[in-house]
Structure 1
């Protein structure tokens, strides 16, 4: 349709003419009523227009663009009821919406004009986008009724406070280049996704906490000086982009890592992509996991130790197969670790000695220096670290704790195993060392009883008690997510019952199982078979030594194989069940060979209390060649009792699922016991086969060394387990052995 147009020409400069309009019309389409065709868009940019009154006749326009002109009057818009988009930027407008509101007006751009006061826009209910950049507005007002406004831009004005935006459905808000000093009155903008507050005078990020849909915030060129201000945005989990360029906070050390740590959902910071390496570095720097802390401490101690004169430690055993035996009790604060450790060391004084750690905290009531802890100052503790005196250290409750090398060496010089207690952080640290202790977790199962016990002691503040209680879940989580991290778990709600459980567990670790009773010197072996010839065979082969490197290689391969063994499948469980059935049959005497072949661990020397008993005079007699557990031969005894004594060097299977290493007997009534030659169990089967050919038939019982195959792997462990089938042999009677060798 041809619209009626006055056919006048431009008489004065700056006046829009019909010819110009005709050239700039575009987008032919149906009018809003749908009854006729018309041009819907008019774009006349950069013509220095001052008068556009001719547009009053273009009532069907839906889009009007007049940027970069000199227009001061837009009253012609009042005659465009169907107008949707209006662009009058870069003009000389001073009046704010001086025209009658088009019913469907949605987008308005009045940027780069000379407006100073915002008027009430209640009549513009369809307005969705309003751009008022580069004007002279000093306050935001008149937008309360614009319930569809989603985009508002008021950059480079004179706005000093954020207000007048309550409950608007804004998604994008641009307030760049104003004089705003505080972020306020934004808590009701629940839909806000993009916020630009750059080039203002903002010093704090407080006020953004409730904007949970905020994904992009620009705070460039403000006055933010503290990294901790980013903590106000910590709960904004959808925040992905943030710009803090040209703020004083960037002058702080490790500023970027600190912000990344506080806002771990960021993908772009200061216009640069946040890498995965940066996120890991940030976490490791400001809140490192326990294993990272332990690894750093271990590296520190290792470096300082290497700076000291190197010596051979008493805690290093002659056999590479046998790490120094240690027992570690761990658990939450005041769960009874220290008390049970003391009691255990008193009852098993032939096997264990208590290892007192160093600490910088003061002693509690009843604690003694040197007995419970070594209480030192912070300066002394740090000096000990720099002197390389610690095996592991940890921080808990604002205090340092550490296990010194001298503590372990003092116990090792006595030929005993070291029993210590520590918190979870210490366990992580100790697991990085070459020691392979048994870790026993003591954990409360009734929280209320545990809290009552903490209160009854009267040593702890409310905050300390809350921390202790919260760590119960931490221990449970570690045990649940890292199978094998702890070797055993004991509930400690009842201290007496917990000790009895611990006592029985230690007996299983040490192999202190009771075989038979009474004062009869003849003991009954698990398989109840005669071993006279076997005992003679053992004595005959004790002079043959096993190569240490071969032994070490077998032990290392066994550990790797056990650590890489996956979780048991139903088929594997059935197979293990059949093996256990074979073990039970072996114990009952049905198949003696199958039982011993499942194990490979070497037997240890006897404890000092046993080794220190009367020793036979030197000479070539077979009594000097007897292993631990073999009593002196009695001419009146038959071969069955001799086999019993020969088999007493092997104890029952421990709770860890392998052969125990230590020897258990009554020191008051048993016969004299000699140290076991460790090389006996490493001999090859060729030598045994030679002895078999010389005098033993196929029906004769096999020797202990033949049944204990050094090449068979140990029982498989769970993934993540520190594979230690038994507590390593306790080097009891070391000095006695030395003196015996000299003789």
Structure 2
């Protein structure tokens, strides 16, 4: 069927019948009905046309994308020319009114007035020309993409008549200021690279997602916090020194700052809160000369996947965390390894603290708690009251003594140089740094107590506890924690030794102790509130008596005829009191549980009761069954657990010798056991004959009390 088809220019009336389209398609020049031209005009055009330029008749060879306007009318919608145009060729562009895509780079065009006659234009590429007039044409209503890079424009004008514009490329021009874009409500991609911009102003509230301002003269980031949709930003090769101004761009994922003047690693803090930042390029910045630059930036920006065009590995993130903010356990492990290696470098001798037994650690008691909670006072008083069992372990510190402190009694006060020298000589078991001062527990302090046959009682902060748990020693830990924070803060202020900031820091650290106790059950062997030091010492001394079994000894002296059943009943009563008190302390330290958590706890308690009664499945029963090989943890077992385990040890009547005594030997109420028997009694009266004692036996050869 014959079809009258017009090329991108309007259909021209011709008395001759329209040509038929061949089956295999038609070339553009076969479809276009060109207006007649006179021979004189051809000659004139040939005179003006230069070598390598396209004339009016040759433009049709570069048309593509055949489409329809009506059922009987076909047009080409794309024109791509990558070489010069003759004057007649430039004028002929006005005839292709149905063009949607126009590409005329390297065409020596000085103005774009011809675009005004192409109302359907969507994409325009006029790069690498000689254009000086910014958007010098009437706006096509659907124009979306414009590339005017590599021209000679120097001033931006108002583009409010281009509401559909989405992409704008103005690279390699001479712009000094961003303006005229306020009403481009659809603009998402903007490139102004290689211009002469001094500022980032002029991008107010635009829906931009991709911005390139590469190779300008920008010195700081300004007025960009309003670009809430920005995802990619290229500010490379400018003069930027600070990253301030980028901290509120929540959707920003890629930042290129290569070739700027960023000098400080701390500038990365401005990007710390960007949740989607994954790619950062800081190459050719002075900051790269900083030590541990890559680890530091990785630490500040832990969500990064690519830094300086190199993938950030998991190992780098772990190394960065361990270097700049290591977990407390990592710090303790490093501290232990350092002191262990220094100690092994010294001549090795047999220590008195290794003599209690091959499978029994040296007995130690550690009082821990926040600053100025009273642990040092309680430790001194405990060692005075139980002088036949404990000796005070004096630690070293580099801080100056407070008023009333005695060197060699409260602390060994040492200079920083002396402290470091002792560290290198392997003198310390553990050291910590607290408020710019060092504290350390030395082997000599423990050996002094062990030589007298006494257990060592020391006090330390939580960091020291973590380090000491890494050593071969297995102390028993008692946590002293204030439950009334207001009273605790008032006590600190009354001492007159701490600033307001130091008081606030000490109060805040109370939550750290409570959190560790709640999240790691058994980390501390006992928890005692220390709001009132008299009550705290009463509880502490009772705990120590229970550890040593002194109450059992005194009960045997006062009522020698008391039956074992009555003694066990008294112990059960005391155990109930301890449990009630422990529940009260726990209730004051642990946040209130929700109804869901309460229901879950009730179900778990019910399962536990069924398991103990043998009514539940075997899997639950095994959780509560004890094996001969099982041994308690290194911490002090609670009194209630010990008593409950004692009740499960015997199925029949109690052995005649009482708790902890050989059943084959009759009980002698007139016999008073010495301390070695007392220590062994404290061990055998706990669950299982092969279980680790609550407090390891104090070695033989200890001091004897005066008669």
TM, length-normalised to structure 2: 0.79
Of 479, 484, 497, the residue aligned with 1:459 is 497
- Quote the offset at 1:318 in angstroms: 4.1
6-15 or 133-142, which moves further after superposition?
6-15
Task: Please list the CA deviations of residues 129-168 of structure 1 after superposition, one character each: whole Å capped at 9, or x if unmatched.
Answer: 1100011111111112212211110001111122111111
- Quote the offset at 1:384 in angstroms: 0.9
**Retained in 2: the 8 A contact 1:46–1:69?**
yes
Of 509, 520, 525, the residue aligned with 1:471 is 509
- Quote the offset at 1:733 in angstroms: 3.4
Tell me which residue corresponds to 1:584: 647
Tell me which residue corresponds to 1:62: 100
Say if 2:339 is the partner of 1:301: yes
**Retained in 2: the 8 A contact 1:144–1:166?**
yes
Unaligned runs of 5+ in 1: 530-566, 604-628, 631-638, 649-668, 683-703, 715-723, 737-743
- Quote the offset at 1:266 in angstroms: 0.6
Tell me which residue corresponds to 2:592: none
- Quote the offset at 1:98 in angstroms: 0.4
Tell me which residue corresponds to 1:241: 279
- 1:259 & 1:585 partners in 2: Cα distance? 58
Of 223, 228, 232, the residue aligned with 1:185 is 223
- 2:100 & 2:242 partners in 1: Cα distance? 44
Tell me which residue corresponds to 1:44: 81
Tell me which residue corresponds to 1:644: 667
- Provide the secondary structure at the position in 1 that maps to 2:478: strand
Task: Please list the CA deviations of residues 586-609 of structure 1 after superposition, one character each: whole Å capped at 9, or x if unmatched.
Answer: 78x94437999xx9xxx8xxxxxx
- Quote the offset at 1:734 in angstroms: 4.1
Cα pair distance change 1:158/1:20, threshold 3 Å: same
**Retained in 1: the 8 A contact 2:176–2:197?**
yes
Say if 2:119 is the partner of 1:81: yes
**Retained in 2: the 8 A contact 1:15–1:52?**
no
- Provide the secondary structure at the position in 1 that maps to 2:76: strand
Task: Please list the CA deviations of residues 235-267 of structure 1 after superposition, one character each: whole Å capped at 9, or x if unmatched.
Answer: 112111000111111122211111111111110
**Retained in 1: the 8 A contact 2:339–2:428?**
yes
After TM superposition, the structure 1 = structure 2 runs for residues 49-448 of structure 1, keeping only pairs within 5 Å, are 51-448=89-486
- Provide the secondary structure at the position in 1 that maps to 2:152: coil
Unaligned runs of 5+ in 2: 12-33, 569-603, 614-620, 627-642
Task: Please list the CA deviations of residues 621-651 of structure 1 after superposition, one character each: whole Å capped at 9, or x if unmatched.
Answer: xxxxxxxx79xxxxxxxx99x6334xx9xxx
- 1:581 & 1:480 partners in 2: Cα distance? 23
- Quote the offset at 1:19 in angstroms: 3.9
- Quote the offset at 1:20 in angstroms: 3.0
- 2:645 & 2:175 partners in 1: Cα distance? 92
After TM superposition, the structure 1 = structure 2 runs for residues 502-513 of structure 1, keeping only pairs within 5 Å, are 502-513=540-551
CA RMSD across the alignment: 3.4
Cα pair distance change 1:191/1:573, threshold 3 Å: farther
- Provide the secondary structure at the position in 1 that maps to 2:527: strand
- 2:112 & 2:531 partners in 1: Cα distance? 84
Cα pair distance change 1:236/1:595, threshold 3 Å: farther
Task: Please list the CA deviations of residues 470-498 of structure 1 after superposition, one character each: whole Å capped at 9, or x if unmatched.
Answer: 21222222223323222222222222222
Of 672, 696, 699, the residue aligned with 1:728 is 696
- 2:142 & 2:357 partners in 1: Cα distance? 91
- Quote the offset at 1:386 in angstroms: 1.2
- Quote the offset at 1:277 in angstroms: 0.4
Cα pair distance change 1:519/1:337, threshold 3 Å: closer
TM, length-normalised to structure 1: 0.75
**Retained in 2: the 8 A contact 1:225–1:247?**
yes
- 2:260 & 2:416 partners in 1: Cα distance? 42
Task: Please list the CA deviations of residues 59-94 of structure 1 after superposition, one character each: whole Å capped at 9, or x if unmatched.
Answer: 121111112221112111111222111111111111
Cα pair distance change 1:118/1:418, threshold 3 Å: same
- Quote the offset at 1:422 in angstroms: 0.7
**Retained in 2: the 8 A contact 1:583–1:595?**
no
- 1:7 & 1:332 partners in 2: Cα distance? 100
**Retained in 1: the 8 A contact 2:53–2:84?**
no
Structure showing greater relative contact order (alpha-carbon pairs closer than 8 Å, 6 or more residues apart): 1
- 1:406 & 1:124 partners in 2: Cα distance? 83
Say if 2:463 is the partner of 1:495: no
- 1:362 & 1:80 partners in 2: Cα distance? 86
Number of residue equivalences? 603
**Retained in 2: the 8 A contact 1:525–1:643?**
no
- Quote the offset at 1:433 in angstroms: 0.8
